[in-house]
Chain A
Amino acid sequence: MAEWNHFSDVEALRREIGRAFEDFGFEQGPSHRVAFLPGREPRRYPLVNLLEDKDHIYVEALTPGVDPKSINLTAMQNRLTLAGEKSGIPGDIKPEAFHRNERASGKFVRTIDLPVEIDETGIQAEYKNGLLVVILPKAEKAKPKQISVKIA
Protein backbone atom coordinates (compact mmCIF):
# COMPACT_ATOMS: atom_id res chain seq x y z
CA MET A 1 0.00 0.00 0.00
CA ALA A 2 1.37 3.38 -0.97
CA GLU A 3 1.36 5.86 1.86
CA TRP A 4 0.73 9.51 1.25
CA ASN A 5 3.74 11.43 2.44
CA HIS A 6 3.57 15.18 2.23
CA PHE A 7 7.19 15.61 3.17
CA SER A 8 8.55 13.46 0.39
CA ASP A 9 6.38 15.33 -2.12
CA VAL A 10 7.65 18.67 -0.88
CA GLU A 11 11.21 17.34 -0.97
CA ALA A 12 10.77 16.11 -4.54
CA LEU A 13 9.37 19.51 -5.55
CA ARG A 14 12.28 21.28 -3.87
CA ARG A 15 14.77 19.15 -5.80
CA GLU A 16 12.92 19.70 -9.05
CA ILE A 17 13.00 23.47 -8.56
CA GLY A 18 16.65 23.26 -7.55
CA ARG A 19 17.47 21.43 -10.72
CA ALA A 20 15.57 23.94 -12.86
CA PHE A 21 17.55 26.79 -11.33
CA GLU A 22 20.81 24.89 -11.70
CA ASP A 23 20.25 24.76 -15.44
CA PHE A 24 20.28 28.54 -15.49
CA GLY A 25 23.62 28.65 -13.76
CA PHE A 26 22.47 29.78 -10.32
CA GLU A 27 24.21 26.92 -8.59
CA GLN A 28 27.96 27.24 -8.15
CA GLY A 29 29.56 24.12 -9.54
CA PRO A 30 28.19 20.76 -10.49
CA SER A 31 31.10 18.99 -8.82
CA HIS A 32 28.99 17.88 -5.85
CA ARG A 33 26.87 15.68 -8.09
CA VAL A 34 28.76 12.54 -8.82
CA ALA A 35 26.68 9.65 -7.59
CA PHE A 36 24.84 7.38 -9.89
CA LEU A 37 21.43 7.09 -8.30
CA PRO A 38 18.68 6.46 -10.85
CA GLY A 39 15.30 6.04 -9.26
CA ARG A 40 16.40 7.60 -6.01
CA GLU A 41 16.30 11.20 -6.98
CA PRO A 42 14.51 13.05 -9.74
CA ARG A 43 17.58 13.55 -11.86
CA ARG A 44 18.56 12.59 -15.34
CA TYR A 45 20.90 9.65 -15.51
CA PRO A 46 23.60 9.13 -16.34
CA LEU A 47 25.13 12.55 -15.79
CA VAL A 48 27.04 13.70 -18.87
CA ASN A 49 29.70 16.21 -19.76
CA LEU A 50 29.93 17.49 -23.32
CA LEU A 51 33.27 18.43 -24.82
CA GLU A 52 34.39 19.34 -28.29
CA ASP A 53 37.35 20.03 -30.49
CA LYS A 54 37.51 21.06 -34.14
CA ASP A 55 36.35 17.76 -35.61
CA HIS A 56 34.64 15.90 -32.77
CA ILE A 57 32.06 16.11 -30.03
CA TYR A 58 32.81 14.02 -26.94
CA VAL A 59 30.16 12.81 -24.55
CA GLU A 60 31.54 11.62 -21.21
CA ALA A 61 28.98 9.84 -19.02
CA LEU A 62 29.29 8.90 -15.37
CA THR A 63 28.56 5.19 -15.33
CA PRO A 64 30.30 3.43 -12.43
CA GLY A 65 29.55 -0.27 -12.18
CA VAL A 66 27.75 -0.42 -15.51
CA ASP A 67 28.66 -3.54 -17.47
CA PRO A 68 30.06 -2.24 -20.79
CA LYS A 69 28.22 -5.07 -22.56
CA SER A 70 24.86 -3.74 -21.35
CA ILE A 71 25.45 -0.30 -22.86
CA ASN A 72 23.37 0.44 -25.93
CA LEU A 73 24.11 3.56 -27.93
CA THR A 74 22.01 4.91 -30.75
CA ALA A 75 22.46 8.08 -32.73
CA MET A 76 20.22 9.84 -35.19
CA GLN A 77 20.90 13.24 -36.70
CA ASN A 78 22.03 15.20 -33.66
CA ARG A 79 20.49 13.02 -30.98
CA LEU A 80 22.39 10.46 -28.97
CA THR A 81 20.60 7.92 -26.78
CA LEU A 82 22.46 6.14 -23.99
CA ALA A 83 20.88 3.06 -22.45
CA GLY A 84 22.24 0.41 -20.13
CA GLU A 85 22.00 -1.22 -16.78
CA LYS A 86 23.94 -0.95 -13.58
CA SER A 87 24.04 -4.23 -11.73
CA GLY A 88 23.24 -4.13 -8.06
CA ILE A 89 24.38 -6.11 -5.06
CA PRO A 90 23.82 -9.87 -5.50
CA GLY A 91 20.25 -10.66 -4.50
CA ASP A 92 20.92 -13.12 -1.70
CA ILE A 93 21.84 -10.41 0.81
CA LYS A 94 19.09 -9.86 3.37
CA PRO A 95 18.03 -6.24 3.96
CA GLU A 96 19.03 -6.50 7.64
CA ALA A 97 22.60 -7.42 6.64
CA PHE A 98 23.18 -3.91 5.29
CA HIS A 99 25.06 -1.34 7.34
CA ARG A 100 25.04 1.22 4.55
CA ASN A 101 23.05 1.21 1.36
CA GLU A 102 23.76 4.39 -0.54
CA ARG A 103 24.46 3.15 -4.05
CA ALA A 104 21.64 2.54 -6.45
CA SER A 105 21.31 0.34 -9.47
CA GLY A 106 18.97 -0.26 -12.34
CA LYS A 107 18.31 0.47 -15.97
CA PHE A 108 18.70 3.88 -17.50
CA VAL A 109 17.94 5.63 -20.76
CA ARG A 110 18.88 9.16 -21.62
CA THR A 111 18.65 11.09 -24.86
CA ILE A 112 20.96 14.02 -25.41
CA ASP A 113 20.49 16.73 -28.02
CA LEU A 114 23.90 17.53 -29.39
CA PRO A 115 24.70 21.13 -30.28
CA VAL A 116 25.83 20.25 -33.83
CA GLU A 117 25.01 17.74 -36.49
CA ILE A 118 27.12 14.61 -36.42
CA ASP A 119 28.36 12.00 -38.84
CA GLU A 120 26.60 8.84 -37.59
CA THR A 121 28.91 6.47 -39.44
CA GLY A 122 32.08 7.32 -37.53
CA ILE A 123 30.88 7.12 -33.92
CA GLN A 124 33.14 5.34 -31.46
CA ALA A 125 32.72 4.58 -27.77
CA GLU A 126 35.10 3.59 -25.00
CA TYR A 127 34.48 2.49 -21.44
CA LYS A 128 37.18 2.94 -18.83
CA ASN A 129 37.15 3.10 -15.02
CA GLY A 130 33.43 3.71 -14.82
CA LEU A 131 33.37 6.47 -17.43
CA LEU A 132 31.82 6.08 -20.85
CA VAL A 133 33.26 8.24 -23.61
CA VAL A 134 31.43 8.53 -26.91
CA ILE A 135 33.40 10.11 -29.74
CA LEU A 136 31.15 11.65 -32.37
CA PRO A 137 32.66 13.14 -35.53
CA LYS A 138 31.04 16.39 -36.56
CA ALA A 139 29.22 16.44 -39.89
CA GLU A 140 31.23 18.05 -42.64
CA LYS A 141 28.94 21.08 -42.81
CA ALA A 142 29.11 21.59 -39.02
CA LYS A 143 32.88 21.96 -38.98
CA PRO A 144 34.28 25.46 -38.73
CA LYS A 145 35.60 26.83 -42.03
CA GLN A 146 38.63 28.97 -42.37
CA ILE A 147 37.94 31.92 -44.61
CA SER A 148 40.89 33.67 -46.09
CA VAL A 149 40.68 37.38 -46.64
CA LYS A 150 41.89 38.58 -49.99
CA ILE A 151 43.67 41.82 -50.16
CA ALA A 152 42.28 43.89 -52.99
Chain B
Amino acid sequence: MAERTVAACAQEKATSSREETRSQERYITPPVDIYETTNGLVVTADLPGVAKESLDVRVENNLLTIRGKAAHAAPGGPVYREYGLVNFFRQFELNEKVDQSKISAEVKDGVLTLNLPKAEEAKPRKIEVKAE
Protein backbone atom coordinates (compact mmCIF):
# COMPACT_ATOMS: atom_id res chain seq x y z
CA MET B 1 0.00 0.00 0.00
CA ALA B 2 1.31 3.38 -0.91
CA GLU B 3 1.87 5.49 2.13
CA ARG B 4 0.33 8.90 1.86
CA THR B 5 -1.01 11.60 4.03
CA VAL B 6 -4.41 12.84 3.06
CA ALA B 7 -4.54 16.14 4.82
CA ALA B 8 -7.38 17.69 2.91
CA CYS B 9 -9.58 15.57 0.76
CA ALA B 10 -12.02 16.74 -1.85
CA GLN B 11 -14.81 14.29 -2.38
CA GLU B 12 -17.20 14.34 -5.21
CA LYS B 13 -20.75 15.14 -4.22
CA ALA B 14 -23.61 13.43 -5.91
CA THR B 15 -25.41 16.06 -7.92
CA SER B 16 -28.67 14.20 -8.38
CA SER B 17 -30.67 16.91 -6.62
CA ARG B 18 -29.74 19.39 -9.31
CA GLU B 19 -30.94 17.09 -12.05
CA GLU B 20 -34.35 16.90 -10.43
CA THR B 21 -34.81 20.59 -9.86
CA ARG B 22 -33.37 21.89 -13.10
CA SER B 23 -34.21 19.23 -15.59
CA GLN B 24 -34.44 21.65 -18.53
CA GLU B 25 -30.86 22.75 -18.22
CA ARG B 26 -28.33 20.39 -19.75
CA TYR B 27 -24.84 20.28 -18.38
CA ILE B 28 -21.71 18.22 -18.63
CA THR B 29 -19.09 17.25 -16.11
CA PRO B 30 -15.71 18.72 -16.93
CA PRO B 31 -12.67 16.46 -16.52
CA VAL B 32 -10.52 17.51 -13.57
CA ASP B 33 -7.14 16.86 -12.05
CA ILE B 34 -6.83 17.18 -8.29
CA TYR B 35 -3.45 16.87 -6.67
CA GLU B 36 -1.87 17.64 -3.39
CA THR B 37 1.07 19.90 -2.76
CA THR B 38 2.70 20.82 0.54
CA ASN B 39 0.51 23.93 0.72
CA GLY B 40 -2.80 22.35 -0.13
CA LEU B 41 -4.81 21.05 -3.03
CA VAL B 42 -4.76 22.16 -6.64
CA VAL B 43 -7.81 21.55 -8.82
CA THR B 44 -7.58 22.02 -12.58
CA ALA B 45 -10.54 21.63 -14.91
CA ASP B 46 -10.87 21.75 -18.69
CA LEU B 47 -13.59 24.25 -19.52
CA PRO B 48 -13.28 25.04 -23.23
CA GLY B 49 -15.44 27.88 -24.48
CA VAL B 50 -15.99 29.36 -21.02
CA ALA B 51 -15.02 33.02 -20.68
CA LYS B 52 -13.92 34.44 -17.33
CA GLU B 53 -17.21 36.36 -17.03
CA SER B 54 -19.39 33.29 -17.46
CA LEU B 55 -17.51 31.17 -14.95
CA ASP B 56 -18.94 30.79 -11.46
CA VAL B 57 -16.86 29.20 -8.72
CA ARG B 58 -18.21 29.24 -5.18
CA VAL B 59 -17.87 27.58 -1.82
CA GLU B 60 -20.95 27.14 0.32
CA ASN B 61 -21.21 24.86 3.36
CA ASN B 62 -17.99 23.06 2.44
CA LEU B 63 -19.32 22.46 -1.06
CA LEU B 64 -17.18 23.67 -3.95
CA THR B 65 -19.24 24.36 -7.06
CA ILE B 66 -17.78 24.95 -10.51
CA ARG B 67 -20.28 26.21 -13.04
CA GLY B 68 -19.51 27.59 -16.46
CA LYS B 69 -21.49 28.71 -19.46
CA ALA B 70 -19.77 27.69 -22.67
CA ALA B 71 -20.15 29.56 -25.92
CA HIS B 72 -19.05 28.73 -29.44
CA ALA B 73 -16.50 31.03 -31.00
CA ALA B 74 -17.09 30.49 -34.72
CA PRO B 75 -19.85 32.16 -36.74
CA GLY B 76 -21.69 30.62 -39.67
CA GLY B 77 -24.05 27.72 -40.14
CA PRO B 78 -23.11 24.17 -39.14
CA VAL B 79 -21.72 21.77 -41.75
CA TYR B 80 -20.27 19.02 -39.60
CA ARG B 81 -20.38 18.63 -35.84
CA GLU B 82 -18.27 16.52 -33.51
CA TYR B 83 -19.02 18.23 -30.24
CA GLY B 84 -21.56 20.45 -28.60
CA LEU B 85 -20.88 22.98 -25.92
CA VAL B 86 -23.38 23.01 -23.11
CA ASN B 87 -22.94 24.27 -19.57
CA PHE B 88 -20.35 22.77 -17.29
CA PHE B 89 -21.20 21.79 -13.74
CA ARG B 90 -19.34 19.90 -11.04
CA GLN B 91 -19.37 19.83 -7.27
CA PHE B 92 -16.88 18.65 -4.69
CA GLU B 93 -17.22 18.37 -0.96
CA LEU B 94 -14.35 20.01 0.86
CA ASN B 95 -12.82 18.89 4.08
CA GLU B 96 -12.66 21.37 6.97
CA LYS B 97 -8.91 21.29 6.61
CA VAL B 98 -9.11 23.58 3.56
CA ASP B 99 -8.81 27.25 4.44
CA GLN B 100 -11.88 28.40 2.56
CA SER B 101 -11.10 32.09 2.89
CA LYS B 102 -7.84 31.73 0.95
CA ILE B 103 -9.06 29.85 -2.11
CA SER B 104 -7.86 31.46 -5.32
CA ALA B 105 -8.90 30.77 -8.90
CA GLU B 106 -7.39 31.51 -12.28
CA VAL B 107 -8.57 30.74 -15.80
CA LYS B 108 -6.31 30.60 -18.82
CA ASP B 109 -6.84 29.09 -22.27
CA GLY B 110 -10.03 27.38 -21.14
CA VAL B 111 -8.43 25.72 -18.12
CA LEU B 112 -9.49 26.64 -14.59
CA THR B 113 -6.89 26.33 -11.84
CA LEU B 114 -8.05 26.46 -8.23
CA ASN B 115 -5.69 26.68 -5.28
CA LEU B 116 -7.17 25.33 -2.08
CA PRO B 117 -4.66 26.05 0.70
CA LYS B 118 -4.55 23.87 3.77
CA ALA B 119 -5.66 25.41 7.03
CA GLU B 120 -2.73 26.25 9.31
CA GLU B 121 -3.54 23.53 11.83
CA ALA B 122 -3.65 20.87 9.10
CA LYS B 123 -0.18 21.59 7.77
CA PRO B 124 2.48 19.06 8.62
CA ARG B 125 4.81 20.23 11.31
CA LYS B 126 8.35 19.18 11.78
CA ILE B 127 9.13 18.44 15.37
CA GLU B 128 12.62 19.17 16.47
CA VAL B 129 14.17 16.38 18.45
CA LYS B 130 16.43 17.61 21.17
CA ALA B 131 19.32 15.51 22.19
CA GLU B 132 20.49 15.86 25.76
Q: List the interface of chain A (C-beta within 8 A of B).
A: 29-37, 47-53, 56-60, 62-68, 89, 93, 96-103, 115, 126-131, 133
Q: B28–A31 contact, CB under 8 A? A: yes
Within 8 Å by CB of A51, from B26, B76, B83, lies B76
Cα(A49)–Cα(B26), bound, Å: 20
With A47-B82, A49-B82 as known contacts, state yes or no: A64 contacts B109, CB within 8 Å.
Answer: yes
Return B30 CB to nearest CB of chain A, in Å: 8
Cα(A36)–Cα(B84), bound, Å: 13
- B110 within 8 A of partner (CB): yes
- How would you classify the secondary structure of chain A's contact residues: helix, strand, loop or mixed? mixed
Within 8 Å by CB of B72, from A52, A68, A131, lies A131
Which of B16-24, B43-51, B120-128 contacts its partner?
A: B43-51
Q: Which residues of A sit under 8 angstroms from B34, Cβ to Cβ?
A: 98-100
Residue of B nearest to A88 (CB): B33
Question: Within residues 9 to 42 of chain B, which ones have a CB less than 8 A from any CB in chain A?
Answer: 9-10, 26, 28, 30-37, 41
Most B-side CB within 10 Å, residue of A57, A64, A67: A64
Q: List the interface of chain B (C-beta within 8 A of A).
A: 2, 4, 9-10, 26, 28, 30-37, 41, 44-51, 72-86, 109-111
Q: Which residues of B sit under 8 angstroms from A65, Cβ to Cβ?
A: 46, 109-111
Q: Which 9 A-B pairs have the closest CB atoms?
A: A130-B110, A31-B84, A130-B48, A51-B76, A64-B110, A102-B31, A50-B80, A58-B74, A64-B48
